[in-house]
Amino acid sequence: APEMDLSYRSTISIYKSILEQFNPALENLVYLGNNYLRAFHALSKAAEVYFKAIEKIGEQALQSSNSHMLGEILVQMSDTQRLLSSDLEVVAQTFHVDLLQHMEKNTKMDVQFISVSE
């Protein structure tokens, strides 16, 4: 039916104009999100190396009687940081899988759908 065809075409054109409006913003969001994750992973690695060094110093301090208290504090700091890092790692992973990858896939599928439908 011609009306059906007309309604389909107008739906596609409305969809296309929405896409043209929002897709660049979504693609930018995905790009920024991926940058954030890369920076987060770099920070995570640096923190791990740093707090491993603190832990080593703490363990050495534990061996001497006059630095025992300092040793306990440094080891505690290192443990706390490790727990915090692993929690953040889970959040970052969830953010990546549940949101970013999903958005990236959807924006690509939308663009493909429009180019096939026109």
In sequence order, what are the residues at sequence separation of 6 or more whose Cβ sits closer than 8 angstroms to the Cβ of residue 78?
51, 52, 54, 55, 58
pTM of the model: 0.63
Parent domain of 44: 2-117
User: How high is the pLDDT of residue 62?
Assistant: 95
66-108 residue pLDDT tens: 999 999 999 999 999 999 988 888 888 888 877 888 888 887 7
> How many domains in the chain?
1
Q: Directed axis angle between helix 2-63 and helix 101-117, to 10°? A: 160
- How many angstroms separate the CA atoms of 108 and 78, rounded? 42
24-70 residue pLDDT tens: 888 888 888 889 888 988 998 999 999 999 999 999 999 998 999 99
User: How high is the pLDDT of residue 2?
Assistant: 66
Calculate ∠ Cα 87-74-50, nearest 5°.
60
